[in-house]
Structure 1
Amino acid sequence: MSRGPFSDAMRAGADATWDSDWESAIAAYRRAVRLSPQDTDALSALGLAYYNAGQFAAALETYRQASALAPENVVLLERIADTHGQLGQRDAAIEAHMSAAELHARNPQTLARAVEQWQAALKVDPNHVQARVQLLQYYQRIGKAHQAATECLHLARIYQGRGETRRATEIYRYALRLAPDHPELQRSAQSIDPEARTASAPAEGAFAKGGGSAVQPRASDFVQAAIIEAEDERNSLIESTRRHALAALAASVFEDTLELAPVAGDPQVIRSKIDALIGQAVDVQTRGNPEQALAAFAAVYEAGLRSPALCFSLGVLYQEQGRLDEAIAMLEQALGASEYELGGHLALGCCHQAKGDIARAVQHLLAALKGIDLTTVEGGRVEQLSLLYDNLVHSYSVGGQPDHAPEFAASMVQFISKSGWQERATHARRRLDEVAQDGPPMTLADLLAPPGTEETLALLELIQSHIARDLLYTALEECYIVIGRMPTYLPIHRQLAQVLLRMGKREEVSAKLAAVGDTYHVRGQLYQAAEMYRSALTLMPVDTAVRSKLIDVLTDGGHVDDALEHCMLLAENHYGLAQLDLACATYERALRLTAKTDSDRRWQVRILHEIGDLDLQRVDWRHAVDVYQRIRDLAPEDERARLALVDLHYRLGRPDQAMVELDGLLASHRQNKGAGHPFAALEELVQKHEDDMPLRMRVAQAYLDAGQTQQALAHLDRLGDLLLDSGRYDDARVTVRAIVALNPPNVAEYRQLLEQLGQ
C-alpha cells in the first residue's frame, strides 16, 4: 500500500542520504518540499543534502526557510552557523552561533551545548566580547574560578589591545579576585596596573558549586556592565568611524603628501612638525584623555593639516566637550570623504539636535540613515530607495512634517548610535521587505517615523509569523489592534494590505494602498504617494478616483509627461464606462497640462485627436471642425486631421471648404516627397461622393503626380462622363485631351470622342 507521494519522496531522500548520493537526495527532498513547502523536516533534510553536496548557498537559503517556520529549532540555527562559516560569512556565523547558544542556555539540560556554541563563535572571532562574557558567567555559576578568570584575561587583553586601558584594568582587578593565584593573569595585570597584585581574594568557599550568591562575585554586578557599556560605545557608528580616523592619521605619517592649508615656512620643517604632533595626538587619544587629545589635535590643525580624518576626530572631540559650533564646522569639512559620510552625518545630526535646530538635525540624520539603508539592498532598488530618501528630505526641508520631527530625530539617533546598528538595519530591512513585497519599497525612515520606534519591529515580526503559518485572521486581528494604538503608522497599514491580499480581497487592498498614498501626499512625500497609487491601480486599473489622485501627485511633483499618460488612461476609463462628458473633461484637463511640458505640441495633437473622435461620436460636427483645425494649425502635415476636416465639411454641406482642406493635404504631400500618398483615404472619399467632380479631378491629379497612370485614367474617364452628363462640354473636352495625352490603349476611342465634341 502506498505511503503517499510525500512519504515516498522523504524515504527516497533518506535512502540516498544513507548511500551519500547527495544529488539524488537533493532531487528527492526537493520533491518532498514541493509537495509540502512548510514541512520543516523536509526543508532541514534538503538543506543537509545541499550542505554535503557542497552547495552551501542553497543550503543556507533552505535552512533559513526552515528556521523561519521553526524559530525555536536550535539544530537549524547550528546548521545555519556552520553554513555561514563555510561561505566565509564570519559575522553571520557568529550571530547564528550566539542565537543557538541563547536557546540552549534556556534549558539547564543543554547548557553544555550552549558552551559549545559560545566556543564555536570564539573560533570564528576570538575577540568576540559577548561570547567571552557568556562563558565567564557560565564558569562562575558552576564554580570554575580558574576558567572564569581565564575568560577575564581574554577580555582584558581585548580592551587593552583597543587602547581602553581603564576598562582593561577594571577587568584585571576583578579577575584577580576570582583567581588570585592565576600566574598569567598576575603578569598581564601588573603590566598595566602595578597595584593589581594587592587585590583581595574572594571569601573562602565563594566558588563552591551551588554556593550562595551573597558571597560569590558576579560578572553582571561589575564586569558585565562595564563591558556592555564599553562595547556599545566602541561599536557605535561614531566610535568605529573615530577609530578609522585615528588609524588614518597614524598612517598619514608615512604618506608622501598631506592635505595642508597654505602656511608660511619651510615645507619640510612644517611636515616634520605635523608628523610629530600627529604622533602625540594619537598617543593621547589612545590613552583616553579627551581634554589633552582635543588640545593635541587642535595643534595639528593649527599647524596646517586639513585631512578629513583630522577634521572628524576634532569634530567629535568638540562635540563631547559641548562646543557644538566648532564641532559642526569641523564635521562639515570631514563630509567630503566617503568613509566619514555616515559617522559625520550622525554626529552633525546629534550636534544640531543638541542646539535645537531640528530641521537640520533631521536632514543629517536622514542622510546617515540613507547611507546605512542603501547597504541593505542591491541593484535597481538602490536607486529607488535613494529617490525615496531624497523625497523625504525634501518634505522635511519645506516643513511638511514639523510636529513630530523632534521625535523622529530622537528615534533615528536611538537606532543608529547604538552598537549593532548594521545588524539592526539588516534585520529591519528583512521585515520591511516582507511588508512591501507587492508594492514600492519602504525605508528605515518609514519604520522609525513617529509613532513607530525600533520596538515596532517586534510587532511586525509577530504579524509576519502569523502570515507564514497561514494564520491570516490572527494576523488581521493583530494588525487592527496595532492600528488602534498607532493609527498613523504607515508600515502597519502596508502590512494589513499584505494580509488582505493573501486573503484575496483585492478591492480592499487597493483601497488601503490608496489611503496610504493619501497620507504620503498630505505629508508632502510625493514620490511615495505616487508609488502607492500605482500599486493600488495595479489591482484596480479602472479606479478613476485613484488615477485622478495619481495625476495630481505627478503634476505636483513636476512629472507632467507621466501625468499626461495617466490622463489619457483616465479618459479611456471614463469612455469605457460610457461617461463621454467626463472623458472629454479629462482630455481638456490634459490639454491644460500640456503648457507645463517641453513636448507640448506633440501632446496637444494627440489629445485634440481624442477630443475630435469624441465629438464625432457625439455628432458635434461644428466643434469637431474647430478641434481638427487646431490640429491642422499645430501640425500642417497631419493627414488624419486634414481628412477629418474634408469629411466634416462635406457633412456640413461645405464642399468648397472640403476642397480647400484637400488641396492643403495634397500640397503637403507634394512638398514632403518621402511621405506616402493617402490613396486609400482618397478612394474612400470618392466612394462617399462619387459624383463630386472637383474631388475626382484632385484624386486623378494625385495619381498622376505619383506616376500611377492607370488609376489616374480611371478617374479621368469617370470625370469626363460626369462633365458630359452635366452639359459642361468645354470642361469635358479638356478632360478627354488629358486622357489622350496619356496615350491609353484605347486612345483611338478618345480621339473619336474629341471629334464628336468638336475638338
Structure 2
Amino acid sequence: ASNAAWDQRWDTAIKEYQRALAEFPDDISARSGLALALQESNHFEKALAEYKALAKLQPGDPIPLAHVAVLLERLNRRAEAADAYNQIAELYQNQKQMNKAVEAWRKASALEPERAEPHEKLAAAFAEAGHASAAAREWLALAKLAQRGGEFLRAQQYAERTLAVEPENTQAKFLLNEVTGRSAAAADPGANPVELARRSSLARLAASVLEENTPWQRADNTHAAGADTDSLLARAINAQEKGQTQEAIQAYEQALAAGMTRPEVQFNLAILYQNSLRHQDAIPLLQQTARTPQLAVASRFALGQSYRAQGNVDEALENYLQAMKIVDLSTVNRSQADQVIRLYESLAEGYLAKGDEASARRFSMILLDFLNNKGWQDKVREVREHVELATAAGMPLSMQEVFETPESERVVTLLRGSAELVSEQKLYAAGDLVYQALELAPNYLPAHVRLAEIAVAAGRTADALAKYDVLAETAAVRHDLPKAIAFYRQALNLGGSDVTRRAKLINVLVQNGQLTEALTEYATVGMELETNGQFQKAADKYNEGLAIAQRVGLSNDAQLPLKRRLAITHLKLREYDAARALFLEIRQADPEDDEARYYLVDLHLRRGQTAEAEFELRALLERHRNAPENIEATLVSLAEAFPDNLMIQRALADFYKSQGDTDKALQVLDDLGDRLLNAGKPGEAAIVVQEIIALNPPQVAEYRKLLLELREPQAE
C-alpha cells in the first residue's frame, strides 16, 4: 500500500489499505494512509470519515483534526470546520503550544465571524501573553457581536475593556456611545439623549454604591473617608430620584469636594444645575463630561441647551453639531469616519462664516426638535442609509444636511424609491420620483445627483457631465469644497480626457488643503498633455504643481512623482541640462530610484560624459545583481539607444559572457565592430576584435587576420 501511495496509484493504495484495515482495524498507519489516498482521489466525504476515525483513535493529536477541518472547509461546511479548529486550538493549548492554538482560533473566527467563542479565546490568550492591542481587537469584535445580538450591557462591558487598553480607539468609543444609549432606551425609546444618559448614569452610580473600593475614591482616602463618600453618593441618588433637586445638588457638590471624580456624578449635577436654570454652573461640568464617550452625545446636547438659554447661538449650534456628529459617526465604519468628520467641520465653518444668526437659530431648532423626537435613534439609521447611498453615488453628505432639508422624511423616502427603480432600470419612473422630491426641496443636492445617475444609466453622458459641472460649481460657490471635489471626480470618472475639468478639480483641492491629492491631479493633467504631444504645456503644469508644493512646504517625497514626470518631459523637449539636474536631485533623495539612474546614464552619454555614465550604470547594475533579467533589459535598452557606444555594448557583451551565452556576446561584439569600421574608427574596432578573439569563435583565424589589418599603419 505504501508503495502504491508513493507512486500516486491511489486506487490501488485504497484497496490495499482497506485490506489491511480489515485485518487490523486499529492500525493508525493504515487508516492514515487510506485517508490520504481517499483525499488525493477527491473522495472527500470518505476521507473525512477516515480522518474523524483517526481523531478518535488519537484523541490528543491535533493532526487528524487538522485534516478534518481542511476537508470540512473544502466541502463548505463552515460551522463544522470552525468547531474542528476550536478543538484543535484546545489540544494545542493543553500542550502549551499557544502560537498554534492562536492560529487555529483565528481560522475558526474567520470561518464563523459571528461566533463569540474564538474571539473570547483569542482575547484571553493575547491578554495572558501581554499582547494588549491584539486582545483589544478581539474585545472590540465581541462588543460588536453583542451589539448586533441586542446584548447592550455585554457590548458595553467589552467596549469599556477595549478602551481601557486603547483609550483613543474610535470604533470602541462610537460603539460604547451607541450601546449605552440603546440599553437606556429600552425602558423608554422616546426619551431624548439627556434623559437617556441621566437614567443610565444614575443606574451605574447606584450599582457602584454597592461595590467595595469604588474606583472614584482617591488613593489616599481612608476607609472612613470612603464610607463618607459612599454615604454622600447614596444621599444624592436618593434625593434625585425623589425630585429633591436642592438636596441632590448639595450632596453631589459635597461628594465632588470629597474627591469623587466620576463623570456620572458631574453629569447628574450638571443636569440638576440646568434644571435649576444655573446654566453658568452646568456648562463647565458638561464640558468635562463631553470627553466621556458614553456621555458625549448627551453632554453636547445639554451644552447646546444651556448656551441657547444664554442667547449664545453660535456655541449652541456648535454643540448641537457635535452631538449630531457623534451620533452620525456611531453608524459608520472606520473607513468613512474621517470623511464624516470633515463634513461636519465644513458645515460648522460654513455657519460661522455666514454670521447669519437667524439661520443658525433656525437650524438649532431643527436639531433640537429632532433630538427630542420619539424614536430619534431609528431615524438616525434611516437617514444614515440615505447618506450612504449618496456617498456611494460620489457625493459626501452629512445627516445634518438631510435634517436641514424641508420635508426631509418625505424627500428621503422619494429618493429611496427612485434608487430602487434605477436598479430595476425603470428610469422614467425613477426620474419622476426625483422631480417630486425637488418640488419639496429644490436645492437638495442628492436629488440632483440622482438625476445625473439616471442620465448615465440612460446613456446620456453629456447630460450627466453638464449636471455634475453645475453641481461642482454650485458647491464651490457655497464653499462646500468636499462636495465640489466629489462632483468633479464623478464627472472625470465618466471617462475621457478632460484637462480643463481636471484643472478645476486641482484648484478646489488646493483651496481645501488637499495638496498631496492636488499634486496627483497635476501629474494626471501633465500626462494627458504629454499623450496629446503638448510637452511644453505638460512641463508648465508640472512646474505649477511643484511651485505650490514648495510654497506650502510639502515634503520632498510628496514632490518626487511630479519631479520625475517633469524630468522626463524635459528629456522629450531635448532640454537635457534641466532633465539631468532634476534626475540628480531625485537620485539624491532616493538612491534606490532605478528610473532616475537609468535616465542619468542616458543623459551622461548624450553629453559625452562616459565616466559619469559608467558610474551610474555600475550602481544600477549592482542593485540588480541578483536579477539577471533586469540587468539584461536595462543593457539591451541602452544598447538600442546608443548602438555605437563602446562602453554600453561591451557591458552588454560582458553580461552575456557572465551568463555563459557566448553566442549572444559574439553577436553584440561583431555588430559593434562592423558599426565602428563603417564609422571610420579602426582603433576602437581593433579593441572589439581583440575581445572577439578572446572568446575563441569558430572563425578565430579570420578575426586574427582582420586584427593584423587594422593594426597596419594606414597610408597617409
Aligned residue in 1 for 2:339: 387
Cα pair distance change 1:708/1:357, threshold 3 Å: farther
The yes-or-no answer on 1:481 pairing with 2:436 is no
1:538 to 478, 488, 493: 493
* C-alpha contact (below 8 Å) 2:601/2:617 kept by paired residues: no
When normalised by structure 2's length, the TM-score is 0.60
Aligned residue in 2 for 1:602: 560
1:246 to 182, 199, 202: 202
C-alpha distance in 2 between matches for 1:690 and 1:291: 97
Cα pair distance change 1:325/1:512, threshold 3 Å: farther
Residue identity matched to 2:236? A
Instruction: Output aligned runs, 1:32-431, within 5 Å.
Output: 235-260=191-216, 267-377=222-332, 380=333, 382-393=334-345, 396=348, 399-403=352-356, 404-431=359-386
C-alpha distance in 1 between matches for 2:215 and 2:706: 102
* C-alpha contact (below 8 Å) 2:624/2:631 kept by paired residues: no
Listed one character per residue, the Cα deviations across residues 616-671 of structure 1 (whole Å, up to 9, x for unaligned) are 3xxx42x2553255224533886766776787899xxx7x6275664354343465
TM-superposed CA distance for 1:243, in Å, is 1.2
C-alpha distance in 2 between matches for 1:695 and 1:276: 91
Q: May I ask how many residue pairs the two structures share in their alignment?
A: 514
Aligned residue in 1 for 2:608: 657
* C-alpha contact (below 8 Å) 1:587/1:610 kept by paired residues: no
Aligned residue in 1 for 2:582: 630
Instruction: Structure 1: give runs of 5+ residues left out of the alignment.
Output: 1-86, 92-161, 163-230
C-alpha distance in 2 between matches for 1:742 and 1:463: 79
C-alpha distance in 2 between matches for 1:262 and 1:511: 66
Cα pair distance change 1:435/1:725, threshold 3 Å: closer
* C-alpha contact (below 8 Å) 2:672/2:688 kept by paired residues: yes
C-alpha distance in 2 between matches for 1:394 and 1:261: 42
TM-superposed CA distance for 1:722, in Å, is 6.8
Cα pair distance change 1:712/1:465, threshold 3 Å: closer
Aligned residue in 2 for 1:611: 569
C-alpha distance in 1 between matches for 2:560 and 2:368: 50
SS across alignment from 2:608: helix
Cα pair distance change 1:583/1:327, threshold 3 Å: same
C-alpha distance in 1 between matches for 2:335 and 2:624: 46
TM-superposed CA distance for 1:347, in Å, is 0.8
* C-alpha contact (below 8 Å) 1:723/1:729 kept by paired residues: yes
Cα pair distance change 1:747/1:296, threshold 3 Å: same
Aligned residue in 1 for 2:408: 456
C-alpha distance in 1 between matches for 2:685 and 2:613: 23
Larger radius of gyration: 1
Cα pair distance change 1:643/1:285, threshold 3 Å: closer
TM-superposed CA distance for 1:582, in Å, is 4.3
Instruction: Structure 2: give runs of 5+ residues left out of the alignment.
Output: 1-147, 153-186
TM-superposed CA distance for 1:414, in Å, is 1.8
TM-superposed CA distance for 1:313, in Å, is 0.6
C-alpha distance in 2 between matches for 1:311 and 1:271: 18
Listed one character per residue, the Cα deviations across residues 145-190 of structure 1 (whole Å, up to 9, x for unaligned) are xxxxxxxxxxxxxxxxx9xxxxxxxxxxxxxxxxxxxxxxxxxxxx
Listed one character per residue, the Cα deviations across residues 494-519 of structure 1 (whole Å, up to 9, x for unaligned) are 45545555655444344434444445
TM-superposed CA distance for 1:346, in Å, is 1.0
* C-alpha contact (below 8 Å) 1:601/1:634 kept by paired residues: no
C-alpha distance in 1 between matches for 2:686 and 2:390: 84
Residue identity matched to 1:238? V
* C-alpha contact (below 8 Å) 1:716/1:739 kept by paired residues: yes
SS across alignment from 1:657: coil
Listed one character per residue, the Cα deviations across residues 669-689 of structure 1 (whole Å, up to 9, x for unaligned) are 465462657656766776777
C-alpha distance in 1 between matches for 2:386 and 2:674: 84
Listed one character per residue, the Cα deviations across residues 317-363 of structure 1 (whole Å, up to 9, x for unaligned) are 11122212210122223234332122112112222233344443333
When normalised by structure 1's length, the TM-score is 0.57
C-alpha distance in 2 between matches for 1:410 and 1:550: 36
TM-superposed CA distance for 1:558, in Å, is 4.4
The yes-or-no answer on 1:666 pairing with 2:617 is yes
C-alpha distance in 2 between matches for 1:581 and 1:564: 18
TM-superposed CA distance for 1:605, in Å, is 4.6
Aligned residue in 2 for 1:127: none
Cα pair distance change 1:89/1:604, threshold 3 Å: closer
